[in-house]
Structure 1
């Protein structure tokens, strides 16, 4: 916001960012697929995910009220952090707990490792949701989130719900200018991806999806070097990886 809005009461707009990333990998055998799943599951366990989300909370200027985290068997992890604005946290007064208006805000992450049964491909999916209330907006965290994961495909949804009220009684359904999620991502980050928008401005609903442009095959091979593969095999693997990415990006089975 360029200028602080003069409101009647507090800002109760609810802002929700849903951030999903997919990391695709080639693992030569079923055994290596399972080893990759185990590896990526350990790399992004609940402890590391908690560290990432804690930094997200710091970036949006919120206060952590409670953290709940869990690693799952055989794979996957979840973290949920309850947050509030600094001025809205519970305080204790003369032995009694007093609650100011509590923003019903939270940050969550869930991981979903899986693999293709036929094409020696494994996919690691991460879903992050940041829900805030009031002046806090989660859009400033996008570059950090993209950089925190190996993001081949990214889908993002941002929505502002409800309304707040100006001092003169007018309803305000949006408290900041918004035309595209891409406006909140650094230029050098966007240059690495093909990006498209689907926006419903009347509903304050914004959607962006991104697909990595350049592929270095070595970055997608698990426990194998590109020099060990003949050119024809390298081309086949590259095509399979790209097809998998296109289908995830498109949200449908294309090939």
Structure 2
């Protein structure tokens, strides 16, 4: 309790984290592209995504109230978890319970590029918590749970709470950048930039993998089977695709 703020009533701040990852792969033929999408669909089906989100829920100290999951045709999956952070029962005769409810959701979007033979797998995760809990502590786990080539993250603290003297508090923890919550060894693997609006408690970070090992991006193919000029073309296409996703605009 030593480091906690003394509040009047409950902590009414809402903390929302939006975490998006992109995994890019080279699949030349229509068959390979379909196989890649099917592979991703199987690897990241609703059952596995549920396991990732329930682990995340445990990490932030919340309790699962309800799980809703769905796999889609022809591809994709969604999971929504309603979670409770704490329950407080006032003393006395009044039978009143205060329950802080939060949620975490995940959606997947496999797709492929018709011209460059590149397939992209996107995962969107949104975590909304109320009170003292912040979802930022789960970032390393989320990054490692997926093949993350490009990552975009948004964090916002909304609302206000009050201390025991009645003073409004619009933030209850120190933060200058989302990168402060990512392990240094993870950050070293990525180029990262920030766009922060401190006056509005808005924080944005983008990350793109620095080193590309072409073999890791080939589906059902060995890099040594490709001619040097073909390897160079694929590498250029991969880099262009990643730069445009990272920049969130069409550049080339």
TM range (shorter): over 0.9
TM-score, normalised by the number of residues in structure 2:
0.96
Query: In the aligned structure 1, how far is the partner of 2:37 from the partner of 2:169?
Result: 46
> For the Cα contact (< 8 Å) 1:20–1:125, is it kept in 2?
yes
Query: In the aligned structure 2, how far is the partner of 1:99 from the partner of 1:23?
Result: 47
2:190 aligned to 193, 204, 222, which one?
193
Query: In the aligned structure 2, how far is the partner of 1:142 from the partner of 1:2?
Result: 26
Gaps of 5+ in 1: 90-97
Alignment partner, residue 19 of structure 1: 19
2:173 aligned to 172, 176, 179, which one?
176
TM-score, normalised by the number of residues in structure 1:
0.95
> For the Cα contact (< 8 Å) 2:87–2:100, is it kept in 1?
no
- How many angstroms does 1:103 deviate by? 2.0
- How many angstroms does 1:87 deviate by? 2.8
1:162 aligned to 159, 162, 181, which one?
159
Q: Deviations over 1:182-241 (max 9, x none)?
A: 000000000000000000000000000000000000000000000110111001001100
Distance 1:87 1:251, change over 3 A: same
Q: Deviations over 1:146-189 (max 9, x none)?
A: 00000000000000000000010100000000100000000000
Q: Deviations over 1:61-103 (max 9, x none)?
A: 00000000000000000000000113359xxxxxxxx762222
Q: How many residues align?
A: 247
Query: Which aligned pairs between 1:57-136 and structure 2 lie closer than 5 A?
Result: 57-87=57-87, 100-136=97-133
1:226 aligned to 219, 223, 228, which one?
223
State the superposition RMSD in angstroms: 1.3
- How many angstroms does 1:2 deviate by? 7.3
Residues 44-53 or 80-89, more deviating: 80-89
> For the Cα contact (< 8 Å) 1:61–1:86, is it kept in 2?
no
Distance 1:28 1:82, change over 3 A: same
SS at match of 1:155: strand
> For the Cα contact (< 8 Å) 1:88–1:103, is it kept in 2?
no
Query: In the aligned structure 1, how far is the partner of 2:141 from the partner of 2:47?
Result: 18
Alignment partner, residue 217 of structure 1: 214
Query: In the aligned structure 2, how far is the partner of 1:172 from the partner of 1:3?
Result: 16
Query: In the aligned structure 2, how far is the partner of 1:165 from the partner of 1:31?
Result: 59
Q: Deviations over 1:122-153 (max 9, x none)?
A: 00000000100000100000000000000000
Alignment partner, residue 34 of structure 1: 34
Distance 1:99 1:115, change over 3 A: farther
Query: In the aligned structure 2, how far is the partner of 1:8 from the partner of 1:101?
Result: 15
Distance 1:153 1:99, change over 3 A: farther
Query: In the aligned structure 2, how far is the partner of 1:100 from the partner of 1:123?
Result: 46
Gaps of 5+ in 2: 90-94
SS at match of 1:57: helix
Query: In the aligned structure 2, how far is the partner of 1:112 from the partner of 1:202?
Result: 33
Shift >3 Å, 4+ stretches: none
